[in-house]
A = this chain, B = another copy of it.
Amino acid sequence: MYTVVEENYLKALSTLANTGDEVSINDLSKRLKIKMPTVNSMMKRFAEKELITYESYKPVRLTAKGKKEAAMVIRKHRLTEMFLVEKMDFNWEEVHEIAEQIEHIKSPLFFEKMDALLGYPKFDPHGSPIPDKNGNVIATAYVPLSQCSVQEEVTLKAVSDSSEAFLRFLNGRSILLGDQLRVLAKEQFDGSMQVEVAGKSTEMFSQLICDKLMVQKI
């Protein structure tokens, strides 16, 4: 059984490992908002527990065991978010912070019940895939909208930022997962885009926004 703190480190490691497997102490430190020396000593303890491989002055790397444990925490987080939205009438912008806490509840039965009541969902309310009980995740081929070219038509499938602030921004423009997006124009200078949303409205998005909108080409 892992502590709350360990579980949060595991989750951060897994998220940051997405491209390339390697995670620098510095990135971890920034993501967790915990100072580097603290992260460094925790990584040594993680190496002891065989959750990562660690060599001085090199980025760390989750072991198979570490990946599995991280997936289990992510599974609990995403199941919780889905439960809060589907069964407790929460809005998608309200659930991340609560799930951040409930993901640490020690009760396999509790999460099994959630899973069953939800009908074994495959995605959370932000479009991220929910790992199965073995830690396997459905592969998705989403790319950020910022990587799309002019005139491309895509479907909004997920958001890579579940913060209340960002989701309120989308709510304010009635933008939902599943919406069809068409890139009308792209400003080379700052990466901002003019986008037609669901055939209805037209929006200007800064690059920061476009990086957070994960889409699938049609």
Contacts and interface: CB of A to CB of B under 8 A. Distances in A.
Interface of A: 87-90, 94, 97-98, 101-102, 105-107, 109-110, 113-114, 117
A89 B102 CA distance: 18
Contact of A98 (B90, B94, B105): B105
A89 B101 contact: no
Number of this chain's copies in the assembly equals 2
Nearest to A116: B89
A109 B94 contact: yes
B113 A106 contact: no
A89 B89 CA distance: 18
A97 B101 contact: no
A90 B109 CA distance: 9
Contacts of A117: 88-89
B98 A107 contact: yes
B102 A105 contact: yes
